[in-house]
């Protein structure tokens, strides 16, 4: 497969000026090219350069007039929808020119992805416009903003969680739990630079939690995909260590850049690169036809789109999230009341002064035995008779005698 020579780009210091001349923000460029604002910022500072189709589109956007740049929006949105595998404001990085056989193989899922891309275009542009301003959009209520984020991210996140776990029900549960957590912490998520990335990281953490092994319903495997190729690819993915599987999915499936992948997996950039290389080698050893990153990218997209995985309605997710928060709040209140009651009972029944402990009994040796009563002696008999003769009855017996 031959590649065309790289499209010339303006110098790094000229890119920002050309963008501002066309009254475009970094978010506008990111939406039109299907990348993140951080990627556009790195292009303008010269830290990185686009490649492949992104490079051509970026060059046309900078060199074309304002009218032509506005006319390219709808066509570029079609490309974004066809390449959409992962949710979030970060789209797939630059890819090399695809071969004809890969294009034919991905045509089955292309139409579905394009329709999904059209539905989320409005939400993506609104999120990108809001990201340029420090003030929230007053026209959207928190529930409406949450519903827009959910409609944009949830379908793709369910498919990603399925690739991570191989379980359909666990994939849906992971995404719902992540969005319930996002709704519970919406003031924090709403002002996050990448709310879709926040939800994605939470869903991945829940999906890959080792505690699911202890649940009875997850001790038995689910039915594999219908296609033999899909089953083989899913088996290879599930044999990878969880951290390798997650890194490969973020880099080759979702399409994040290597720094973004390393940051989301909480690893260094060299460590993330090594994980991607080892995961690719493991996949290529079992499936040689997927040795190319492009082929692996499209096969992951096909496998994720082959299963009919539907997420719940956003209103249902919000309701369950609020109910779960209420239950946890009530449980915390009940535990606090119980702790206060136990503390009060302890203080009431506890001794308020020191009591010396009783010494243990000891046997004393060497004392003479106590004599039993016996007959009185002559002297004792005379003393008793004398005492009896001097007894006085009546009150005078209490008056002492003066001698």
Please state, in angstroms and rounded to a whole number, the distance separating the CA atoms of residues 227 and 133: 47
Domain that residue 29 falls in: 1-95
Please state, in angstroms and rounded to a whole number, the distance separating the CA atoms of residues 81 and 78: 5
Please state, in angstroms and rounded to a whole number, the distance separating the CA atoms of residues 261 and 201: 11
* 84 belongs to a structural domain: yes
The DSSP-derived string for 212-266 is GGGSGGGSSPPPPPSSHHHHHHHHHHHHS-HHHHHHHIIIIII---HHHHHHHTT
pLDDT band, very low/low/confident/very high, at 70 (cuts 50, 70, 90) = very low
Residues 80, 117 contacting (CB under 8 angstroms): yes
The Cα angle at residue 187 between residues 184 and 189, in degrees rounded to 5:
80
User: Among 98, 100, 96, 114, which Cα is nearest to 54's?
Assistant: 96
Quick one: residue 91, left, alpha or beta (phi over 0 = left, psi -120 to 50 = alpha)?
beta
* 123 belongs to a structural domain: no
* 235 belongs to a structural domain: no
* 226 belongs to a structural domain: no
- Tens-place pLDDT, residues 301-344: 888 888 777 778 888 888 888 888 889 899 999 999 999 999 99
- Tens-place pLDDT, residues 180-212: 999 988 999 988 888 999 999 999 999 999 888
Q: Flag whether pLDDT at 229 surpasses 70.
A: yes
Q: Is the pTM of this model over 0.85?
A: no
* 379 belongs to a structural domain: no
* 336 belongs to a structural domain: no
Count of Cβ atoms closer than 10 Å to residue 134 Cβ: 7
- Tens-place pLDDT, residues 86-110: 433 333 333 333 334 333 333 343 4
Per-residue pLDDT, averaged over 16-28, amounts to 81
- 377: exposed, middle or buried (C-beta count within 10 Å: 0-12, 13-18, 19+)? exposed
* 291 belongs to a structural domain: no
Predicted local confidence at residue 39, as pLDDT: 85
- Percentage of the chain with pLDDT > 90? 23
Q: Flag whether pLDDT at 358 surpasses 60.
A: yes
* 5 belongs to a structural domain: yes
Give the chain's mean pLDDT.
77
- For the chain, how many structural domains are there in total? 1
Predicted local confidence at residue 98, as pLDDT: 35
Question: Tell me, what CATH number does 85's domain have?
Answer: 1.10.260
């Amino acid at each position: 497969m031959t590649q065309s020579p790289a499209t010339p780009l303006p110098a790094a210091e000229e890119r920002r000026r050309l963008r501002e001349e066309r009254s475009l923000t970094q978010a506008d460029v990111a939406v039109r090219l299907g990348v993140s604002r951080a990627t556009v910022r790195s292009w303008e500072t010269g830290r990185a350069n686009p490649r492949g189709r992104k490079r051509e589109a970026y060059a046309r956007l900078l060199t074309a007039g304002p009218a032509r740049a506005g006319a390219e929006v709808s066509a570029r949105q079609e490309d974004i929808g066809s390449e959409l595998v992962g949710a979030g404001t970060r789209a797939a990085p630059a890819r090399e020119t695809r071969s004809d056989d890969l294009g034919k193989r991905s045509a089955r899922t292309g139409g579905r992805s394009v329709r999904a891309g059209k539905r989320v275009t409005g939400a993506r542009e609104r999120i990108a416009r809001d990201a340029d301003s420090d003030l929230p959009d007053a026209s959207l209520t928190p529930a409406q903003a949450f519903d827009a984020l959910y409609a944009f991210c949830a379908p793709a996140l369910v498919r990603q969680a399925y690739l991570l776990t191989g379980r359909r029900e666990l994939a849906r549960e992971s995404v719902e739990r992540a969005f319930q957590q996002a709704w519970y912490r919406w003031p924090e998520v709403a002002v996050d630079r990448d709310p879709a990335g926040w939800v994605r990281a939470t869903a991945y953490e829940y999906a890959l939690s080792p505690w699911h092994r202890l649940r009875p319903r997850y001790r038995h495997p689910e039915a594999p995909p219908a296609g033999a190729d899909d089953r083989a690819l899913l088996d290879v993915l599930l044999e990878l260590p969880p951290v390798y599987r997650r890194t490969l999915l973020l880099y080759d499936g979702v399409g994040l850049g290597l720094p973004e992948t390393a940051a989301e997996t909480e690893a260094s950039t060299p460590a993330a690169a090594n994980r991607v290389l080892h995961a690719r080698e493991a996949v290529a050893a079992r499936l040689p036809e997927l040795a190319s990153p492009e082929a692996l990218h499209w096969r992951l997209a096909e496998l994720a789109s082959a299963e009919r995985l539907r997420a719940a309605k956003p209103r249902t997710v919000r309701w369950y999230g609020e109910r779960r928060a209420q239950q946890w709040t009530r449980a915390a209140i009940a535990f606090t009341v119980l702790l206060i009651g136990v503390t009060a009972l302890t203080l009431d029944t506890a001794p308020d002064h020191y009591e010396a402990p009783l010494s243990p009994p000891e046997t004393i040796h060497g004392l003479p035995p106590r004599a039993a009563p016996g007959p009185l002696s002559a002297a004792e008999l005379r003393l008793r008779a004398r005492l009896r003769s001097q007894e006085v009855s009546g009150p005078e017996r209490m008056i002492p005698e003066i001698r």
